[in-house]
Structure 1
Amino acid sequence: MSRLREGLPRNGDTRPHFVVCGADALVYTLAEELANTGHRIRLTVVVPPRLRADVPDLGALRGVRIVRAERLDERTFRVAGLAGAAALALVMPDDVVNLHGALCAQAVEPDLRLVIRMFNSGLGYGVRRLFADCAVLSDAAMAAPAFVAASLGEVAPTHVRLPGRTVYVARRADVRPEHVICALTAADGAGKVDVLPAEPPPEARRPTDLVLAEATGRAAGQTLAAQRLASARKRRRHPVAAFGRALRAAMSRKLGIAVIITLVVTAIAGAVLAQADNVDGFWKSIYVTLLTAVGSSDVEEERNAVAQAAQLVLTIAGLALLPLITAAVVEGMVNARLALSRGAVPDDRQDHIIVVGLGNVGTRVLRQLVDLGLDVVAIDRRSDARGAKVAEQLGVPLIVGDAGLEETLRAASVATSKALVVVSTDDVTNLQAALNARAARPDLRVVLRLFDDDFARRVQTALSIDISRSVSRLAAPAFAAAMLERDVLATIPVDRHALLVAAVRVLAGSPLDGAPLGQADRELSVRVIGVADPGSERVDWAPDPRRVLVTGDRIFVVARRAGLRALVERATPPAEPLMLDQAP
């Protein structure tokens, strides 16, 4: 909480000032998160004069000051009152705009915590080195694992490195009981799911409940999903499988049928001709058949009518066979080269995953699915979409078209696909694609992105969509935590919630100073998973709840946002609620 006490405005208001700059749904969701934290803060939101239609009304948020500006420059930041602010979040949907804004903000307020949204991870690493107090986050990187896991019907692949151990999220059935740290969800069998419940008794534990588990590195700890995906990667790299894909790609279905029919007609006509001419011997039959097929035979009037008819059919078939063979060779070479380079089957696809929308989120989903060894087909309206080059590099077929149209989905073989992941930036297109896909394949697993979280929840219920999510809702808690809490270690997406893994320090004179550790644990809100002595790096991962907390203890918890806020307040002396530090 020290940053909250340090970053105070210079106009006499004792509340710390936070500034958020953005232009899409994330700016609203982040502002909502900050406005509802319960911290006594002032919040200013800087947005363009014209916002997207899907961004909710910021004016509905209580206590939020709105500044409209065309550019994020020094003048805009001075108008927003950035001088003396505690933190600035730059969540514009453009990396360069965010970087330029950060540089301008430093000129206005050098002692400022920056939280910057970046899509390009390489640029993000460089940006961190430019600023002393900076967190670089990607909403696409946070949301993509949730969409990938939903498309596979699995748990989001979340791993968190803590001092001395790595923890991950898994289903209870995939984890040995001794490796379970705490329960993350518990279903009551009637459709209700509790988040961060107390550990249920053995008879009430369900295999599908999510738990936080210790990663031991042993094969037994590997989930069934991980084993299946590892097997898929192995099959994908196998040279025989790659040759088989190329061989299947070398002949399209229609061309193959035409060639087969022509060859059958040629064989039958050749047999009739050989029989009519009383040709003796297998070689002479083959010789007469092939010679006639290529059109080298002369008209012989002395032959009987049957032989003449067979010769006529054979000659016509030969004329058709040569172009078909040429077309088959050309198409086969092209398709085989594409199949070998891309590792995918251009036609007759099945058990693949269709990704609609190659923007920030769709590109990351595409990469992760390919990394898992899965066959993917991409759809986007534009051939120059952000992820088009990524799809080309990864050998993923890209269909340019409107995913809301049935013919586009049919071109992607939706009827034989495993799942449809719709993550474009257009809610109407996303809904149309989901509904058309369900009409073509009622049992298809559909994962849908919608900007408004409430709308997404209602659509999932009303239309029986497997998963509908809001990217901004998944990412906003992490951005808010980066601005407010210095000890948040990671975020864990669980269903529609974002749980925070954090370390909270007990300060002298706080309600928790001298209290038993068990008082920090709150069912459905905060679960204590470890505690460390003052000044020690060693963490006790199985602490006794009767242990008495002392000044400087660090409590490691998994918590919901409101629960973490309450815990931080109880670990802070009540006599210092966000006050200016006393000057000597």
Structure 2
Amino acid sequence: MVVCGDDALAHRLAAELREVYRERVVLVGPAGGPAAGPRLTVPGQGRASALLGRVSAVMTGAPPATGGLPEVVEADEPTEAVLASAGVAGAAALALVYDDDETNIRAALAARRLNPGLRLVIRLYNRKLGQHLEQLLDQAALVALPDLSPGEVDASTTVLSDADTAAPALAATAVAGTSKIVHADGLLLRAVERTPPGRGDVADPGLCTLALLSATTNDPAGEEGSDSSGTAGPRLLPDPSTVTAATGRGTVVLEAVTHTGPVLPAGRLAGRGIPVSELFSRRLRWAVAVTCLAVIGLAVASWLTTGDHPLHAAYVTLLDLFSINDPAVGESTARQVLQLLSGLVGLALLPLLVAGALEALGAFRSASALRRPPRGLSGHVVLLGLGKIGTRVLARLRDLGIPVVCVEEDPEARGVALARRLRVPTVIGDVTQEGVLEAAKIQRAHALLALTSSDTTNLEAALYARTVKADLRVALRLYDDDFATAVYRTLRAAHPDALTRSRSVSHLAAPAFAGAMMGRQILGAIPVERKVLVFAALVVAGHPQLEGRTIEEAFRPGAWRVLALDTTAPADRRPDLATPRPADGERHATGLVWDLHPGYVLRPEDRVVLAATRRGLAELLGRHPQPGPVGRWPSE
């Protein structure tokens, strides 16, 4: 694997590939100073390698290793010569994560010439350009390698945005307090550690049990479970009998991230999001109802007094109401009285029509304006910043049905238009000014997401929010990982009973980029103590371990387990379930079915989502896993 980048995302991505997936990695990045040309640095030396060692230590919780780090090619620009020296011609995948779109595109075109069958993962901010670039590079690979099938070429190029990939984790932090999630066709899945249930208690199995922890009831740290019980750490993907027999041990359970708080009000007008009650006032609705009753009464009276057919009597009443009937001269007194009364009701109808038109116009005009937070709102999420990241997170939160109040200083920010269209309450103002957070009802909020582009603004807002509500759940977006760690530790020490998370975008986006480099079938990975579970989406055809077997027979304890079945028709399936859906704020139905019958027989055309160990996934894919650094990740 080759990773090219000039910021923290490149280092985080290289560490993710090495530590989680055990891949051999070459890192291409700018030199510490002026360089005469590209040069290969000995592993473990140089400023880039030192930084990568610190990132790896943060990810694994172990001190930096002296060996096993990726090779580093120091170069200011990813020219064709630099890519060749990094071994792109023989690499399996290349990630281009420079902050400049033009640099990434130029390098992608050069890499496709060097290696037509290379799997490309490109970081681009321009979505439309990214779609065209995917098609262009896939077409180039198809022309250069005509023996490849269209399916293989389709999996060769993936364009991602760090904003899109970080948004699901930030949304999950606001809802569930964790960013260790897996994204699968619009669903957010998390692995939850649960302590051993007490006597007589019934544990919630969630979607399934992923692992048995090494910790026991008497030894929460896990030493007794590792030594005396002979488990040698956690047991991944245990069978049901093993889970039942392992009393006193904690478990890791897979759950879907859902919102259990207050729900969004129903009854919205299609396309505009306006409640019907806001379109016309209550007084106007009562006036229209009384007028309709009067018209009905006049029609009934005309039918009873004149003896006409009921439909004809109603027709005559409407003609009198709109003053387009002939005067009832020479007719009976009752007919004349009814005509006069109908004319009076018609006079009252005209101002009602004008008032209704004006109120409807005012309602639709207010729909284009930003809403203010409702007076009784509580249990919501306060979202600070509607920039690139905040816009994506807002769409994910609304996709989960979570009430949100946004705070943005710039009324022309890119996310303001989305908030206006979705009728999300928004406060325009500087969050550091007094009264702005109070206007967002921070004292009754469930969580605070500080996602502005300024670290100091996010920190100041979080500290002030904690003075208003000490137990508020807080998640901050901070650029520097070291600064984020220091802020997290300090806030946790100052407020031990409140949940605090400080995350950088590179920290949250790296797992998605790493999964794309492994192939579109990889959905993500979740660590379990010092082991890792990988989630993947596979088509059953070509895998004899799955094809023609039932769900129960396809389960191999300790290696892989089928979790869900994609019921979408093969022609309508999304090629990559891990790629977030468009951030349009609309809810999308998923085709994944998680409650599978054990006797269901897997067909070749089925696509399944499974959890596997690294060794088990390598066996399914016909690969040979790379050995990991000594003392880092024990063998599974």
Tell me which residue corresponds to 2:534.
500
Alignment of 1:476-487 (within 5 A): 476-483=510-517, 485-486=518-519
In structure 1, how many angstroms separate the alpha carbons of the residues matched to 2:564 and 2:173? 33
1:30 matches 2:13:
yes
1:151 matches 2:174:
yes
1:141 matches 2:164:
yes
Identity %: 33
Aligned-CA RMSD value: 5.8
Tell me which residue corresponds to 2:474.
446
Tell me which residue corresponds to 2:367.
340
Tell me which residue corresponds to 1:211.
254
Alignment of 1:116-195 (within 5 A): 116-132=122-138, 133-153=156-176, 160=184, 180-183=207-210
Is the contact made by 1:449 and 1:456 (CA closer than 8 Å) also made in structure 2?
A: no
Structure 1's 191 and 407: CA in aligned 2 closer, same or farther, altered over 3 A?
Answer: farther
- The code of the aligned residue for 2:509 comes to A
Tell me which residue corresponds to 1:387.
415
TM-score when normalising by structure 2: 0.52
Structure 1's 206 and 446: CA in aligned 2 closer, same or farther, altered over 3 A?
Answer: farther
* CA offsets 1:343-399 (integer angstroms, 9 cap, x no match): 732675733432123343221111223445555333345555443443454454655
Tell me which residue corresponds to 1:287.
none
How far the C-alpha of 1:436 sits from its partner, in A, is: 1.0
Alignment of 1:265-414 (within 5 A): 339-342=366-369, 344-345=371-372, 348=375, 350-351=377-378, 352-372=380-400, 374-380=402-408, 382=410, 385-396=413-424, 399=427, 402-404=430-432, 406-414=434-442
* CA offsets 1:157-182 (integer angstroms, 9 cap, x no match): 966369xxx9966989xx99899443
In structure 2, how many angstroms separate the alpha carbons of the residues matched to 1:507 and 1:470? 40
How far the C-alpha of 1:87 sits from its partner, in A, is: 1.8
Secondary structure at 2:265 match in 1: helix
Return the match for 2:456 from 412, 425, 428. Answer: 428
Is the contact made by 2:368 and 2:421 (CA closer than 8 Å) also made in structure 1?
A: no
Is the contact made by 1:89 and 1:114 (CA closer than 8 Å) also made in structure 2?
A: yes
- The code of the aligned residue for 1:424 comes to T
Is the contact made by 2:191 and 2:526 (CA closer than 8 Å) also made in structure 1?
A: no
In structure 2, how many angstroms separate the alpha carbons of the residues matched to 1:170 and 1:99? 36
Is the contact made by 2:163 and 2:388 (CA closer than 8 Å) also made in structure 1?
A: yes
How far the C-alpha of 1:43 sits from its partner, in A, is: 1.0
Structure 1's 209 and 74: CA in aligned 2 closer, same or farther, altered over 3 A?
Answer: closer
- The code of the aligned residue for 2:368 comes to S
Return the match for 1:86 from 92, 103, 107. Answer: 92
How far the C-alpha of 1:493 sits from its partner, in A, is: 6.5
Return the match for 2:521 from 462, 484, 488. Answer: 488
1:558 matches 2:611:
yes
In structure 1, how many angstroms separate the alpha carbons of the residues matched to 2:436 and 2:274? 31
Is the contact made by 2:268 and 2:276 (CA closer than 8 Å) also made in structure 1?
A: no
Tell me which residue corresponds to 1:217.
none
Is the contact made by 2:419 and 2:425 (CA closer than 8 Å) also made in structure 1?
A: yes
How far the C-alpha of 1:26 sits from its partner, in A, is: 1.6
Tell me which residue corresponds to 2:356.
none
Tell me which residue corresponds to 1:216.
none
Structure 1's 567 and 449: CA in aligned 2 closer, same or farther, altered over 3 A?
Answer: same
Is the contact made by 2:165 and 2:509 (CA closer than 8 Å) also made in structure 1?
A: yes
* CA offsets 1:287-313 (integer angstroms, 9 cap, x no match): xxxxxxxxxxxxxxxxxxxxxxxxxxx
How far the C-alpha of 1:235 sits from its partner, in A, is: 6.2
1:103 matches 2:117:
no
Return the match for 1:44 from 23, 27, 32. Answer: 27
TM-score when normalising by structure 1: 0.56
Structure 1's 21 and 243: CA in aligned 2 closer, same or farther, altered over 3 A?
Answer: same
Structure 1's 136 and 399: CA in aligned 2 closer, same or farther, altered over 3 A?
Answer: same
Q: Which runs of 5+ in 1 are unaligned?
A: 1-17, 214-222, 248-331, 511-515, 545-553, 578-584
How many residues end up aligned between the 2 structures? Answer: 434
